[in-house]
Every structure is written in structure tokens, then in C-alpha cells.
Amino acid sequence: MTAITQAEIERTVQAALMAHGAGAFPAAEVARAVAQAEALGNRICGLYYLESYCQQLQTGRVKGDVIPVVSAPRPATVYVDALMGFAQPAFAYGLAPALDAARQYGIASLAVGHAHTCTALGYFTEQIARAGIIGLGMTNASPIVAPPGGKTRMIGTNPIAFSVPDGEGRLAMQFDQSTTTVALGKITMAKAAGEVIPEGWAVDADGNPTTDPEAALAGSLVSTGGPKGWGFGLMAELLTAGLTGGVLSRNVKPLKAPEGPPHDLGQYYILIDPSASGAFMDRLDQFKTYLGEDPAGRMPGQMRNPADPVNVDPAAWAQAQALAGIED
């Protein structure tokens, strides 16, 4: 592994994106997300995606120079049209008005429509929580999940993320998880490494359990908990497509394909001001105390500790430098 600072990762990724047609602000926002993903060890959402971003900028599958349009169709309802650009700058444009609305009304929604994949969803809900507001987010993706017992891909991995502030500018808890047993990137990385996958992750094209990642990619991923996970995935599907104007997962082409129509995905966030209830922070503290009585008890995300410098994959780093036009 190669040790690289977060700042250097950001500079290199921003340079690579701008070299392939992105504007300075969108490139900076995406680069910040990539660096954080790498710092947290979430390599699937880090440099792993950079080549795809650059290719899709060149083919026009993602628009790198658009300015998101923010509107407020109703009180406490913020909508951002990403105009087929990156999700990160679109969220950045909508965050401040959504936070203001949550503080004024106690609860608000932020819908980001017509956007590129947002990759790590918790990256966004964390920003909400660090501003002192509870953040619940979800998104849909390319179709890879069949209904329980079925064979036809209907929805994506459709992750859900939830971040809670601790009242001091940090996180009390956070989870960010797909509604499938495993994220799609785990399958593609296993295929690239020539590894088998555990049984229970996926089924083949005939609906049979498989440990072959190639067969899994030709088949479907399995919802977490079967019908229960399917229900959460469907909830995310309807909210993110229906309340943002984005497309259903069935109409999204593979996210990393260099060419094709824009992703046109939606991300939907609910922002809740914990001060709307005088009891929230007290109950949070009580629960943390009770949880601490169990030796195995910990809040989700409690052990998150971003690295800096970051140990990155040497091949991925070399590719990033090449995309940025930097000679080693």
C-alpha cells in the first residue's frame, strides 16, 4: 500500500476530473468525497470510481460543468435539480437551505433529482449531522435485485444512511448500508480478484444460490433478510425516484459503463431537528449509557476514524496520477 495524505488525494482527484471536463467546484466536491471514502477504508466508493467518472465526463454521461438549480416547492421542502451532473455539488447547493428549513419547521426534506450516482450515501447524512440535525438518506441504483424468490431484476442495492449528532458537532451514531446482503462493489471486486463469494450474497440467472461472482453479476443480489430487506429497498426506490423525478432502477444502465444515458438518479433526505423534542438528547445519552454496560455494546459508526495519511492501493493511485496528468 502507498501512504498518501487526504489533501493530496483531493488535489489529484480534482485535477483528474478537471482534465476530463469537470468544472472546479464540482470537481472539488467529488474529490472531497473520494478522499473521505479512502480515509475510511471504503475503497469501493473511493479511487475505484475515478476512471469511470473521467470516462463518463468525456462521453457526456455525466455533466461536469452544470450549475444545480435549487427551489422550494413548499415550506420545508427543498428540491435540487442536478441537471445530470454529479450528486456531490448538487447536495452542497441544497444543504444550507434544507438545514435552515429543518431548524425553522423542525423537519424538512431535501430531494436531489437528475443526478449521477452519489456512491457513499453516509458522506451526505454525516454533513447533516455535523450541523446538529438528524439525517436520514436513501438512493436508488442500477437494477441488480430481484424480488424474493424471483429472477427479474427490479431495484438496485438502494442504500439507506442514518446519522445522528452528539450535540457537540460530532456524530453519536451512523450507519450506511445497502438493502442487499452486500454491496454490488463487493461482487465486482471479488470477480476482479478471481475470488469466490459467500453463499447467501447472490443468486444466478436461474434464481439458484451461487458463490461465483460472475454468475452473481448475471443474476441478482439477495435482499438483506429476504422480504424485510426487499421492503426497505422498495421504500427507497419509490421515495428516491418518485419524490425527485429521477428514473426507476429498472431504467438505469450499469453505473460504471463509460457510455450510455445519464444515470438520472435521485437522492432523498429527511432532516430532523432534535431540539424539536426536549427529550431527544437525554434519551440518546441514556441509551449510550445502557449500551456501555454490555462489553460488546457500541453505537454504529462509533469506531469510525478517518486515516491521514491514507494507505491507498498503489495501482489505483498510479491510475489517479495518470488521469490527472501527473508524472510519478
Which residue, chain included where needed, has cell 451514531? 173
List pLDDT tens digits, range 150-177. 889 999 999 999 999 999 999 999 999 9
pLDDT in the model for residue 253:
93
Q: Which three cell numbers stand for residue 276?
A: 424539536
List pLDDT tens digits, range 2-41. 899 999 999 999 999 999 999 999 999 999 999 999 999 9
- The span from the CA of 111 to the CA of 109, in Å, is 6
Is residue 107 within 8 A of residue 98, CB to CB? The reply is: no
- The span from the CA of 225 to the CA of 295, in Å, is 26
Number of residues that this document lists for the chain: 328
- The span from the CA of 298 to the CA of 5, in Å, is 29
- The span from the CA of 259 to the CA of 55, in Å, is 8
* CA neighbor of 83 nearest in space, from 73, 72, 93, 96: 93
Q: Which three cell numbers stand for residue 202?
A: 447472490
pLDDT mean values, one per 10 residues, the chain (328 residues): 95 98 98 97 94 98 98 97 98 98 98 97 98 98 92 94 95 95 87 92 92 94 94 98 97 95 98 95 96 94 91 96 90
pLDDT in the model for residue 11:
98
Cα angle 184, 185, 190; round to 5: 105
Q: Which three cell numbers stand for residue 112?
A: 436531489
C-alpha Rg value of the chain to the nearest Å:
20
pLDDT in the model for residue 328:
65
Is residue 64 within 8 A of residue 13, CB to CB? The reply is: no
pLDDT in the model for residue 302:
83
Is residue 261 within 8 A of residue 253, CB to CB? The reply is: yes
* CA neighbor of 140 nearest in space, from 274, 7, 246: 246
Establish how many alpha carbons lie within 13 A of residue 140's alpha carbon, considering only the half-sphere containing its beta carbon. Answer: 36
